């Protein structure tokens, strides 16, 4: 493996979003904006939906009834809230549905540019946007650094977030490059492009949006603890922990395993050649040959068994 492509939300970051900004349109109350968005997102499992539910609960808001929920992966959700059509998602998602977002301020104009943005529309009118922030995993920076140290040449972060958010997270972690505004099909094409550049690509993700890319990579790794069933089934490997420090260990373990296999093959071939030669020369009796053959098998087994204790130190880390 020479390159890795990471999903951002839930993989490099905790996947736990926090609402940090409410920017309603003119004549719209912040509480109304939050209540409409949280109601529409009630059936979604996306981290942004959970963040909206939590802050609405903390604000003691009474959420209106919701019906006809539809989720478009990588774009947003649509639902009927109090008989009005509500859309929550990317700015492009609203534009595709003929919603004008020029009535609200541009998030890029604000000083705090490190948040993800959800636009909210009611009917054909955009009633504001909500800013959310995510935190990188504590071990992510160290894991990225270790991957570079052990010879991974390219570490690409893929995200549907804005350029400012992607740039901040990629710089914080030390990724070699990033791609923002990625839809599921974009992630797939980027992985194919990296492969066409001559890399052996490992794709790491956890969500439904990552499934096509996981399947397209030379190797797919699903973050098992928080991963969706679709992502896990699309991947070659499912990590039972969402600890990113396991990735450098996985690379080192795979290389160590390959080295042990080569040692066993080399030993086995040489052992048989020498044994056959000794037998043909009359230097090896049948009984001793059988004993040596059994001993050679034991050597291969015990050489392989050394891998059982490989990485024991990870279990003792604080």
186 a catalytic residue: no
Strands (E), the chain: 3-7, 18-24, 66-72, 76-81, 84-89, 116-122, 125-133, 154-158, 177-179, 201-205, 219-223, 237-239
Integer CA distances (angstroms), 47 to 9, 133, 260, 264, in order: 8, 11, 42, 47
Rounded Cα distance, 239 and 237, in Å: 6
Rounded Cα distance, 148 and 184, in Å: 26
Rounded Cα distance, 230 and 181, in Å: 22
Instruction: For the sheet with 76-81, list strands across it.
Output: 18-24, 125-133, 116-122, 84-89, 76-81, 66-72
Contact residues for 189 (Cβ-Cβ < 8 A; gap 6+): none
Pairing type for strands 116-122 and 3-7 reads unpaired
* Gyration radius from the chain CA atoms: 27
Rounded Cα distance, 150 and 229, in Å: 30
Rounded Cα distance, 100 and 123, in Å: 11
**Of 7, 134, 161, 243, catalytic:** 7
Pairing type for strands 237-239 and 219-223 reads parallel
Pairing type for strands 76-81 and 66-72 reads antiparallel
Catalytic residue ranges: 7
């Amino acid at each position: 493996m020479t390159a890795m492509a990471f999903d951002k939300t839930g993989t490099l970051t905790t996947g736990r979003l926090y609402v940090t900004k409410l920017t309603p349109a003119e004549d719209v109350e912040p509480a109304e904006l939050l209540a409409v968005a949280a109601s529409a997102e009630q059936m979604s499992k996306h981290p942004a939906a959970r963040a909206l539910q939590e802050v609405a609960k903390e604000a003691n808001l009474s959420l209106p009834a919701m019906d006809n929920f539809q989720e478009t992966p990588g774009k947003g959700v649509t639902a009927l809230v109090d008989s009005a059509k509500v859309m929550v998602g990317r700015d492009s998602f609203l534009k595709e549905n003929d919603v004008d977002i020029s009535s609200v301020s541009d998030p890029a104009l604000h000083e705090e540019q490190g948040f993800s943005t959800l636009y909210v529309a009611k009917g054909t009118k955009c009633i504001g946007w909500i800013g959310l922030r995510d935190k990188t995993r504590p071990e992510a920076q160290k894991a990225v650094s270790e991957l570079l140290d052990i010879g991974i040449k390219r570490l690409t972060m893929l995200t549907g977030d804005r350029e400012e958010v992607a740039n901040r997270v990629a710089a914080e972690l030390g990724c070699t490059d990033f791609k923002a505004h990625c839809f599921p099909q974009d992630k797939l094409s980027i992985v194919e492009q990296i492969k066409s550049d001559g890399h052996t690509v490992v794709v790491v993700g956890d969500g439904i949006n990552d499934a096509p890319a996981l399947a397209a990579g030379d190797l797919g790794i699903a973050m098992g603890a928080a991963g969706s069933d679709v992502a896990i089934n699309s991947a070659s490997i499912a990590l039972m922990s969402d600890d990113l420090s396991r990735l450098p260990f996985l690379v080192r373990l795979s290389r160590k395993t390959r080295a042990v296999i080569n040692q066993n093959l080399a030993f086995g071939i040489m052992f048989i050649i020498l044994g056959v030669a000794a037998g043909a020369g009359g230097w090896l009796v049948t009984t001793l040959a059988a004993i040596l053959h059994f001993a050679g098998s034991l050597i291969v087994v015990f050489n392989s068994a050394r891998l059982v204790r490989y990485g024991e130190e990870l279990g003792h880390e604080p």
